[in-house]
Structure 1
Amino acid sequence: MPDNATRVLILGHGAMGRAFETLLSARHDVAVWDRDLVTGVETQPLEAAARGREVVMFALPSNPHDELAARLAPCLATNALCVSIAKGLDARGRTPAQVFAQHFGPRRDWAFLYGPMLARELQAGRPGFAMAASLRPSAGARLQALFAGTALHLDCLDDVHGAAWAAILKNVYVPLIGAADGLALGDNLRGFLVAEATRELAGIVEAMGGRADTAYTLAGLGDLVTTATSASSHHRRLGADLATGDATQLAASGANIRSEGVHTVAMVRAHALFAWERFALFALVCDFLDDPARLQAGLDAYLARRFAAPTGR
C-alpha cells in the first residue's frame, strides 16, 4: 500500500460500491460497510466502521442518506470527506445535497459525483466521467487526487445543488426517450427529445436555485445521453416496456434504483417542489406515466405546440 494511501469507507456493496472498490483498492486502504435490506443486519456497526476513515462514499440510494448522515456526523473526524452518487429524492422530497447540507454543514468537506459512470464499464476498466460537485474547492481537489490514475475522470463544479437537481431530474426524461425508441419512432425524434429535455432541465435547475448551464455538464447532458441510449439502462427499458403495454418492471421496482425517475415524478407532484405544469416535456412525462396509452397523442400535441406557426396580426 502506498505511503499516501487514503483510508476510504464505501457504504453499500451493490454495483457502484463494487466499482469504487475495484477502482480504489490498489492505491488506497478501502473498507466496505453494508446492511441487509431484509433483516437490517449491518456488516459491522456503522460508527465503528467509520472510525479513522478519511473519505466516506455513499454508494446507496437517497432514502437512507438522512439516517446514515445523522449517525456519521458526530463520529467522523473533522477533516473527513463525505461523497455520494445518489440521484433520487428521499421520502420528504429532499435531494441528497440538501440532506448533506443539513447534517454536515459548511465546515466539513462533502461532495457528489454525477456523470456518465456506468458501474459495469468502470469495473471492466473502461473510462467514466463525472463532475465532483461541492461548495468547497478542497473537496473537489481531494476527489481528483483520490481517483488519480484510475479510469474515473473528474471535473470540478461548485454548483452542488444545481448538479444534484440536474442528475436527479434527467432520470425523469429517460423513460420518455426509451418509450419513443420502444415504439420505433426514429433516431431523429430521440435527438430532438434529448435536446428538448436538456433545455427544459436547464430551466428547472435555475428555478431551483442552481445555474442553468449546469444542465449542460456531465451531471446533466452527459448523464442524460448515456442513460437514454445505454442498452443496459433500467430507466430506458422501463419507458420502452410501458409504451408497448408491459408495466411489469414498474410494478416490481417501486421506488428503488430501477425507477428513480418515476419516484422523482411522484415526489415532485406530492410535495409541489416546483411548478412542474409550466414545463411541457415534464408534464408530458407525467401524462405518459399516468396513462402510457396516451403517449402518441401527447407527443403529437407537444410537437404541434412546439412548432406552431407564429401568428401574425
Structure 2
Amino acid sequence: MSGAREVRRVAVLGAGSWGTTFAKVLADAGRDVTLWARRPEVAAAINERRTNPDYLPGIVLPARLSASADPASALEGADAVVFAVPSQTLRSNLAHWRDQLSGGRTLVSLAKGVELGTLKRMSELIVEVAGVLPDQVAVVSGPNLALEIAHGEPTATVIACADHDRAVALQNACATGYFRAYTNTDVIGCELGGAGKNVIALAVGIAAGMGLGDNSRASVITRGLAEISRLGVALGADPLTFAGLAGLGDLVATCSSPLSRNRTFGERLGRGETLAEAERANHGQVAEGVKSCLSICELGERHGVELPIADAVRRVCHEDLAPSSMAKELISRSFKPEYL
C-alpha cells in the first residue's frame, strides 16, 4: 500500500445525524469507533443509553461505538479521522484539531459544500489547514440519507481518494450487510456532485412547494445534473462520475426524499415562506444549499460556466426573487441543443 494501512480504529468528529450514522456503519463493520460530540450530554447519552436522542432517536448504537466530548481523547490511536461537521464550520474546527492529526493517518470528509470566500472544496480545505498531502484525504459521497442507513436499509456510496489504496482500506472498513462502498480516484467530481445536489434539491423543493408536478421536477433534476457536470468538467472532473452514485445517485435521493433537509427547505420557500420563516420551521438550521448556492455560483462565474438553476436558487434565497419568477425565467431561456 502507498502509505495506507488497515483501518481498525476510527475517530468520527461530529455527532449529528450523518456523523453518528457513519460511526454506526463503521462499528457494525467491526471497527472500534470513537465519536466526538460537541455537547457532553450527547456523548453521555451515547455511552450510557446507546442512543443519540437529538439526531437519531430510537436507533440503538453498537457496543464498539463510544463517544467523547474531548477531541484529543477521540483522536487517540485512530488510523482514520472522519470529519462530520458542516462545510462552513470545517475550517474553524480543523484549526483546533490540526496539531493532533499527524502520523500519516487518512482524513475523511463527509461534508458536502464549497467554502464561502475561498471557493475551496472540502478536501482542498483539509489539505491547506491540516498541512497534509492531497492523497491522504478521502471524501464520501452518494445517496446516503442518514435515517434510512441508521435503520439498516441497503445503500451504496463512493469513497474517493487520489490514493486508491487508501480508498480500498476505507472501503473494507465500512463494509456491512447494508452498506456497500465503491472506490473512485475522482475527488473533484465526487465533491462537486455532493455540493451541487444540495442546491438543485432546493430548486426541486421550490417547484414542489409551488404545486408543480413530476414533469417539472424531473426537468429540474436532469438540467441540474447537466449544470453540475459542466462545472465539474471545467474543474477537471471525470464526466462519468456524474452518472454514478456521487452524481445522479445522490441527486435523485436528495431531490426526492422528505428526509432531505434541502428538499423540504425548498418546499417552504416555494409555498411563499421567507428564508427566515423556513429557518425557524427547520429548528433554526439553514439547509446547506442555501449557503452553497453562493459559492457554487461564484465558482461557475470564475470558470465561465453557466449555472442558471443554481443562480435562480441564489436569487430566491438571497435577493428575494419570487419562485414564480424563477420558474418563468428558467422556462423562457433561449433555445439550445440539450448537450450544450
Q: TM-score range by the shorter chain?
A: 0.7 to 0.9
Offset, 1:110: 2.0
Provide the alpha-carbon RMSD of the alignment: 2.9
Aligned-partner Cα distance in 2 for 1:237–1:44:
31
How far the C-alpha of 1:235 sits from its partner, in A, is 0.8
Separation in 1, partners of 2:73, 2:152: 32
Q: How does 1:225-240 map onto structure 2 within 5 Å? A: 225-240=252-267
- How far is the alpha carbon of 1:232 from its aligned partner? 1.8
Query: SS state of the match for residue 115, structure 2?
Result: coil
CA-to-partner distance for each residue in 1:179-224, whole Å, 9 max, x for gaps?
1111221111111111101011100112233233322221121111
C-alpha displacement of 1:126: 0.3
Query: Using a 3 Å threshold, how does the CA distance of structure 1 residues 86 and 18 change in structure 2: closer, same or farther?
Result: same
Cα drift, residue 282 of structure 1: 2.2
The verdict on how the C-alpha distance between 1:63 and 1:302 changes in structure 2, with shifts beyond 3 A counting, is: closer
After TM superposition, the score normalised by the length of structure 1 is 0.84
**C-alpha distance 297-202 of structure 1, shift in aligned 2 (>3 A):** same
What corresponds to 1:301 in structure 2? 329
**1:133 pairs with 154, 160, 163, which one?**
160
**How many residues were matched structurally?**
301
Are residue 6 (structure 1) and residue 8 (structure 2) matched? Answer: yes
What is the aligned partner in structure 2 of residue 94 from structure 1? Answer: 120
Unaligned runs of 5+ in 1: none
Unaligned runs of 5+ in 2: 1-5, 41-66
Name the aligned partner's letter for residue 148 of structure 2.
E
* Normalised TM-score (structure 2): 0.78
Residue 35 of structure 1 aligns to which amino acid in structure 2? R
**Cα deviation, residue 111, structure 1:** 0.5
**Rounded Cα–Cα distance in structure 1 between residues aligned with 2:177 and 2:95:** 31
Secondary structure class of the residue paired with 2:138: strand
Counterpart-to-counterpart distance in 1, 2:244 and 2:116: 27
Q: Are positions 1:82 and 2:82 aligned together? A: no
Cα 1:107–1:249 shift into 2, 3 Å: same
What's 2:288 paired with?
260
Supply the AA of the counterpart residue of 2:10. Answer: V
**CA 1:108–1:280 in 2, change beyond 3 Å: closer, same or farther?**
closer
* Aligned match of 1:185: 212
Partner of residue 201, structure 2: 174
Q: For residues 305 and 240 of structure 1, what CA distance do their matches in structure 2 show? A: 23
Q: Is 1:8–1:56's contact at 8 Å kept on the other side of the alignment?
A: yes
Alpha-carbon distance, 1:106 to partner = 2.5
Distance in 1 separating the partners of 2:208 and 2:227: 20
Q: Tell me the distance in 1 between the aligned counterparts of 2:127 and 2:301.
A: 18
Aligned residues of 1:208 and 1:274 also touching (Cα < 8 A): no
Question: Residue 17 of structure 2 corresponds to which residue in structure 1?
Answer: 15
Matches within 5 A, 1:88-237: 88-92=113-117, 93-102=119-128, 103-106=130-133, 109-237=136-264
Deviations 1:239-263 (A, max 9, x none): 1111111124544389x86421110
Alpha-carbon spacing, 1:107–1:172, altered in 2? closer, same or farther (3 Å)? closer
1:282 is the counterpart of 2:310: yes
**Residues 183 and 240 in structure 1, CA contact (< 8 A), matched pair in contact too:** yes
State the secondary structure of the residue aligned to 2:181: strand
In 2, Cα distance between the equivalents of 1:158 and 1:105?
17
Distance 1:167 1:257 in 2: 19
